[in-house]
Structure 1
Amino acid sequence: MNRKLSALLSLVILISSVLSIQAQENWTHLRGSNLDGHSVSQNAPVSWSETSNIAWKTAIRGVAWSSPVVFGDQIWTSSATEDGKELFAICTDFNSGKILKELMLFRPDSVQHIHPTNSYATSTPCIENGFVYVHFGTYGTACVNTRTFEIIWTRTDLNCEHMQGAASSPFIYKNLLILHIEGTDVQYLVALDKRTGKTVWKTDRPREFYDNIEPVSRKAYCTPIVITVNGKDQLISNGSQLAIAYEPETGKEIWQVFYGEDSTVAMPLSYNGMVYVNSGWMLPKDGSPFYPRLLAVDPTGTGDVTKTRVPWEVDVDVPQISTPVIVDSLLYMVHERGTLTCLNAKTGAVVWKEKLKDQFNASVLYASGNIYLFPVKGKTYVIKPGLTFQLVAENQLDGQVKATPAIVRDNIIFRTDKFLYRIGK
């Protein structure tokens, strides 16, 4: 009887623990658990510095621009040595900032060249209850048990020629882990069984758009999203040359929008029945400066909808790297060179512009009624969303910032080139 009671009590405690973790606010992917840049925190920090409102600050080994992800009391980050010869993951305790585990995942025999502004660990992990998935592009993808730190499976055969390094991040969809692999040689999406790592489906990008262009124009660094359209899910992937919607369970194409050119980095967005996709660099024939476009797409069509389902596009001060955020029908985007633009998400009309004297790589976030912008040199601008530019605060930390932070449980998990911070109480 005592044994049965003890076993029952243990089961109740286990279930309660699992439910408690699931009820917590987590930050499971790049740009949040919904991949939309929105945090559900009600009292996120507004003001901080190196000497104020810092719960802890922990040195992180390696060079990496990947973002932190959070589940329960664990923060996971990927990292790499500067030369790319060691690729590893780090688990940090949310409460204390203590490093719980540094786990070596891959030691490549050889590495490709990367762009000087990139790293060998730029792809952000994704996490769920019990498992974290860490991706390093062509060098490998791994699933790790977050309770035991056991490596459950690895794949090192999802290869491509990155040319300037990997950046696309994985994401979890039901029982699948979905990856965008787009290099100068091959371009495809692949869905893995998240428990075994085995391929469930693989879909090549349409060859007719890639075969007759220069290799440099075939490359993308984007991370897809999943949206629901008329009760059915769509996987939206804005790679080089064109954006495509797929059935996420099968990889079958639904619609496509052609825009041409290469190097898409910014993620797609979805709001109020529309999808917003970044074209990547456009290279004008007349030698004028290259630029990206932002296109609004109605996702209810099928086939080639380039001429029928794109109500507007803009090509002025559109960021290539940073993903915008949409709040109350207004879209906020910040160009790499500092021009902040507010657009009407329905029409594409400019509501206002503000020039910030900084450079930006990290994506824009929304939390607790404020918009957060993260320049490369450690500053954070906090502004109010609305029909005019309203600055709330400017905050400064040491170091370089390219990783988009996580805003979770009224704290900001902030990664610089050398440290991981928890900002807040």
Structure 2
Amino acid sequence: MDSVFRRACFVFSGTFLIVSGCGPAAKPVQEVTVDPDQIAEATPIEISDDDWPWWRGPSGQNVASVTSVPTSWSDSENVDWKTQVPGRGHGSPTIVGNQIFLCSADEEAATQFVVCFDRERGTELWKTIIHTGGLPGRGQMHPKSTHANCTVACDGQSIYVGFLNSEHITATSLTLDGTIRWQQNLGYFGSRFGYAPSPCLFESLAIYAADNQGGGFIAAVHRDTGDVVWRKARNNVNTYSPVVLANIADEPQLLISGDDRVASYAPLTGKELWSCAGTAEATCGTAVWHDNLVYASGGYPSRQTVCVDATTGRKVWDDKVKCYEQSMLIANDHLFAVNDDGIALCRDAKTGKVKWKQRLQGAFSASPLLVGDLIYATNEAGTTWVFEASADAYKQVAKNQLGTEAFASLVACGDRIFARVATGNGPDRQEYLYCIGTP
């Protein structure tokens, strides 16, 4: 059994699946429990409002701390810098201090790695290979998916990432100069369409979701040592959403959708707090919340958006509209979304009443971003619509094109937008990281 240590314990983003199906036989998950009083302190989490330290930003809600960034751009307009990104991945940029971190993978070389760029100039600072070999076969991957789907998490001193490799999920921590600190095998993963969830940080812990047909689980490791602190089994279902940390009624909760339910766990112990039937067997988006209400959407094979009272675990409202790959967004007491088919919609967050719908264009995988009172939504072809977070009607501000392919969600911090996009196809495909500012 994994040690529960003596020393200290203290986030699309996945996008990818269409169907479930037969797969490898499930393997029993070896659960690990912990007395929270035995969890010692770890290196403090130190981030600033100028950082974007994990999946969906400091708040976990994809809301920028800044209130104003550019609304118009192109390959040449309002570009502070542009740099090539090696390999292929769908994770969003993680930005702390003067560094930007991205996960990526080179399928031809069979490598999975983390690459770091200078925030001010876009120059590559380092690249650390995490795995060589052990990549799932294409029969175990969705065509949209990559071998590097997650967004890196950073606590200000170290970074954390998870990869599916050799049929297991491996958690890895690196220093800010790219040196591997530790690695931990979290458990077997029976892949149907790949692995997507990004890690979530809470106090001494880095927490990883790993729902899969071979034995689903959530595992928390000690940020300083990599020791497994707790691991809780979930059902053996192919679903792809990450856990997200929410503060509800002054209590921390880990929220996750998928497996035909929305569930909440205690972040220090993994104890299930409540579970509410809803969404679908498979979801990809991250749950969002407002006051005491939690919202989630999915998926496959059914479709549903559901609102749950997080103090009781009871359903408040639901409808048959789904956002499968994307996460939704809370703004001004309303729930905004852009679904897979490119339909933007606004609901009253308390009642679920649809206030307006607007068809945009193309398929969407990236999640919308809120900056001030504006929403930025990017489709798979690299087109970004900017519109007001208004409940009155759809009010478009701008429409911008960057590259020819975009799966990673936009990031906004320090009065700039950072976008991971690609151009070309096959061997000519090249990913880029753009810094959009106002020169």
What TM-score range do you get, normalising by the shorter chain? 0.7 to 0.9
1:29-70 Cα distance to aligned partner (Å, 9 max, x none): 111111101001122111111111000110111011111110
1:400 aligns with 2:405: yes
Matches within 5 A, 1:5-84: 22-83=47-108
1:121 aligns with 2:148: yes
Cα gap change, 1:388/1:97 in structure 2, threshold over 3 Å: closer, same or farther?
same
Match of 2:171? 141
AA of the residue aligned to 1:142: T
1:114-148 Cα distance to aligned partner (Å, 9 max, x none): 111100001111112111112113352210110x3
Match of 2:437? 424
CA displacement at 1:177 relative to structure 2: 0.3
Distance (Å, rounded) in 2 between the aligned partners of 1:222 and 1:109 = 23
Match of 1:259? 278
AA of the residue aligned to 1:145: T
Match of 1:275? 294
Cα gap change, 1:109/1:366 in structure 2, threshold over 3 Å: closer, same or farther?
closer
CA displacement at 1:260 relative to structure 2: 7.0
Query: Highest CA radius of gyration, 1 or 2?
Result: 1
Match of 1:385? 389
Match of 2:122? 97
Match of 2:368? 364
AA of the residue aligned to 2:253: Q
1:199 to 200, 218, 228: 228
CA contact (8 A) 2:246 2:255 kept: yes
1:161 aligns with 2:198: no
Question: What TM-score, normalized to structure 2?
Answer: 0.83
CA displacement at 1:311 relative to structure 2: 1.3
AA of the residue aligned to 1:311: V
1:294 aligns with 2:294: no
Match of 1:315? 320
Cα gap change, 1:118/1:83 in structure 2, threshold over 3 Å: closer, same or farther?
farther
CA contact (8 A) 1:108 1:139 kept: no
Gaps of 5+ in 2: 1-43, 423-430
Match of 1:225? 244
Distance (Å, rounded) in 2 between the aligned partners of 1:394 and 1:31 = 22
2:217 to 188, 195, 200: 188
Cα gap change, 1:314/1:84 in structure 2, threshold over 3 Å: closer, same or farther?
farther
Match of 1:88? 113
Q: Alignment RMSD, CA only?
A: 1.7
1:403-423 Cα distance to aligned partner (Å, 9 max, x none): 012111110110013100001
Gaps of 5+ in 1: 1-18, 211-217, 284-291
CA displacement at 1:236 relative to structure 2: 1.1
State how many pairs are aligned: 380
Match of 1:289? none
Distance (Å, rounded) in 2 between the aligned partners of 1:219 and 1:39 = 31
Cα gap change, 1:361/1:23 in structure 2, threshold over 3 Å: closer, same or farther?
closer
AA of the residue aligned to 2:102: T
CA displacement at 1:165 relative to structure 2: 0.6
Cα gap change, 1:311/1:110 in structure 2, threshold over 3 Å: closer, same or farther?
closer
CA displacement at 1:389 relative to structure 2: 0.6
2:213 match: secondary structure: coil
Match of 1:346? 350
CA contact (8 A) 2:286 2:296 kept: yes
Cα gap change, 1:232/1:84 in structure 2, threshold over 3 Å: closer, same or farther?
farther
CA displacement at 1:158 relative to structure 2: 2.6
Distance (Å, rounded) in 1 between the aligned partners of 2:59 and 2:133 = 32
Distance (Å, rounded) in 1 between the aligned partners of 2:399 and 2:279 = 38
Identity of aligned residues (%): 27
AA of the residue aligned to 2:319: V
1:156 match: secondary structure: strand
Distance (Å, rounded) in 1 between the aligned partners of 2:364 and 2:251 = 35
Query: By percentage of residues, which structure has more helix?
Result: 1
The worse-fitting range, judged by mean Cα deviation, of 106-115 and 321-330 is 106-115
CA contact (8 A) 2:343 2:359 kept: yes
1:313 match: secondary structure: strand
1:6-48 Cα distance to aligned partner (Å, 9 max, x none): xxxxxxxxxxxxx9x8445100111111110100112211111
CA displacement at 1:242 relative to structure 2: 1.9
Distance (Å, rounded) in 1 between the aligned partners of 2:85 and 2:188 = 28
Match of 1:6? none
CA contact (8 A) 1:240 1:279 kept: no
AA of the residue aligned to 1:169: S
Distance (Å, rounded) in 2 between the aligned partners of 1:419 and 1:384 = 28
AA of the residue aligned to 2:192: M
CA contact (8 A) 1:162 1:182 kept: no
CA contact (8 A) 2:205 2:221 kept: yes
Distance (Å, rounded) in 2 between the aligned partners of 1:109 and 1:355 = 41
CA contact (8 A) 1:263 1:280 kept: yes
Distance (Å, rounded) in 1 between the aligned partners of 2:146 and 2:249 = 40
Question: What TM-score, normalized to structure 1?
Answer: 0.86
CA displacement at 1:84 relative to structure 2: 7.5
Match of 2:33? none
